[in-house]
Each structure stands twice: as structure tokens, then as C-alpha cells.
Chains A and B, each alone.
Chain A
Amino acid sequence: MDRNDIKKWLKEPAKMGHKYSLAAVYFCTGCGIIEVPPVITSRWDAERFGVTAVATPRQANLFLITGYVSVKTLKAIIRTYEQMPDPKFTVGFGSCPINGGMYWDSYNTIKHLDKYIPIDGWIAGCMPRPEAIFIAVTHLWTLIDKDMATGYIKYREKYKYYRANQEKVLGELEWPPLYPIEKNE
């Protein structure tokens, strides 16, 4: 451990704990998931960075969205995201979640993922190399250190707009709102 970090550890142990033990939820969308097995296994070994993969969203705090998002997948993404406990960080991986990428003019893929759930960071490229995941993770550390990875707070504050956008695409959602929505605005 870095000696200079001791002060931070004593001051905010929970934040440092979240930062160095990112648990990524096993969730595959599109083609980018092919980059993840070498990342979490011995070739690039994500555990050096404290990133492990966990089976359920209830145990996870990092959400990698690894490719194009079809309308049906968006439903699953929202459900998964809402099940994750706070604090949770999302990273859009590849160019498709950013603006549609090569699927821009498709009838069934959503274009900007950040219209539906908050995204803390993006990795550009089609596909990004596995090293890019580690660059993203280290960037995410800096963001967490500076209290800038606040997507989950934003989601709570602007839940009304996110929910409205989700309902525009998916129609009536089957589950109740995660946070109360004030009707009088």
C-alpha cells in the first residue's frame, strides 16, 4: 500500500474500499463481452486492479455495458442497474453505447445509452483493447477520489426524466418506480 494513501484510508475507509474492490456484474451485451474473459483471467488479470466479476447485480458495484444495446436488452440493463446497491458505477464500453456506432441507423438499437441510465465513463473504440478497460478503471479511481463518479446520485435526483425516457422506448414498464416521482411539476 502506498504510504501517502494512509491518510485517505483513515479518513474515508468506505470510499477507498469501494474504489479498490470493484465488483463487475456478469452482464453481456453485444460483441464487447469477448474482451472480458482475457481481462478477468490470467492474461491481463483484472484482479491486480481489484476488479472481480460477480454473479448477481446485488453484489456488484461496477456495470460494464459491452456493446450495442437493443431495445430488449435495455430493459434488462435497467432492471440490473436498479438492483445494484449504491454506490454503483457504470462504464460504457465500445462506441455503440456512446452514440449507436455502426448500428446508428438500426430500427431496434438505442443510440445514446446515457439517455436512459447515467454513465460515469466511456471507453471509445470498436472494439477497445483489454488495456483500455484498465485505463478506464484507473480513471474511475481518480473520479471516485474526487467525488466525480456520481451517476447513481444523479439517477436518484433526475429519476423522473430517466423514467420518462425509459417509458418512451419500452412503453409501460412492469416494475414500480425505484424512487418516488413527484407528480406536481
Chain B
Amino acid sequence: MQEIESTFKDISVSIPEDTKLIITAKKEDLLSILRFLQDKGYNHLALISCVDWIEEKEFELVYIITSYLEENEYTGREKINIILKTKINRENPQFITAIPVFENAEPYEREIHELFGINFKGHPRLTPLFLEREYKIPPFRKDFDTREYVKEFFNKIPFVDEKK
């Protein structure tokens, strides 16, 4: 922990539990922090997720990093989850892809692109992953009104029995 604090400026590190380490970083530093952690033995990207802070007009990307080592390679300090948070602008959501560091970031970034509309630069294929339809607003954003959408779309489809 001290190592990472001395290596990078402008980050805040906190330890809420014994097995958790939360790093809040600026978006420019994120890839180098990921690479730094990977070199330290945290070689597994467990999840990328996204939080929509609509009042602050920001998206928060959350990277969860753990380590999968052989049993004899553990030195004791690797058995923690590192939660790496960064905030990006909500108006024009752009970010760089983490694929050069962790290859398994690809499906997570596709999912976030689909559900939040964040554009990851350098991602080889940002094609739809789950959804079959196109939405005007990506459906996981806070300003997407699902109830309105259901009324506008699904309830307008007629029952077949009513047509003679």
C-alpha cells in the first residue's frame, strides 16, 4: 500500500476491511496503476462495473482486481481484493480500453458500452452483447425511464384476438 502511494500521486487509498483495498485514482493514471498492480502479482481482473452518478454528472468505473497464484507463490499480502475507482465525464463518455493490460476486460467493456454507452477507445469490437433492440438512451443509465419505455413500446403492441 505504501508502495503504491509513493509511486503515484493524486490517488487516495483506504482500507475499509482487512481483505479490501480501495484506490481512487484519476482517469489518466488508471492504466499505469493496472499495469503496476499486475506486476505486483495481482494478475486477475475480476470485474469491471459502472455506476451512474447522475447528480454529479459523472460515471464511476470500478475495477476489481485479485490475484490467482500458485499456492507456493503467495507471500501473504496478495490475498486481498483491490477495488480501483475512477470517474469520467458523463456528457461525452470516453475512456481507454484496458485490454492491453488485462485481456479479459473485453466482454466487460462491451457490456458497459451497451448498457451505459461509454465508448472505449481502442476496443476491437464494441458490438451488442446482450440486447436485441436499440435504445435511444442506454438502458442502465439513471435517466432511462423503464416505466415510460414499457408504456411507449410494449403496451402499444396490439393483442391478436382484438383483430378480426
Contacts and interface: CB of A to CB of B under 8 A. Distances in A.
Given A71-B132, A105-B147, A158 B163 contact: yes
A162 B161 CA distance: 10
Interface residues of B, number: 18
A49 interface: no
A70 B161 CA distance: 22
A71 B131 contact: yes
A154 to B, nearest CB: 8
B155 interface: yes
A112 B153 CA distance: 12
A160 to B, nearest CB: 9
Contacts of B149: 107
A115 B161 CA distance: 9
Contact of A107 (B139, B158, B160): B139
Is chain B's binding surface mostly helix, strand, loop or mixed?
loop
B19 interface: no
Interface size class on chain A is: 20 to 34
Contacts of A165: 157-158, 160
A139 interface: no
A115 B158 contact: yes
A176 interface: no
A168 B157 contact: yes
A71 B159 contact: no
Given A75-B132, A107-B146, A111-B154, 7 more contacts: A71-B132, A100-B154, A106-B146, A108-B139, A114-B160, A115-B158, A161-B163
Interface of A: 71-72, 75, 100, 104-108, 110-112, 114-115, 118, 154, 158, 161-162, 165, 168-171
Interface of B: 130-133, 135, 139, 144, 146-147, 149-150, 154-155, 157-160, 163
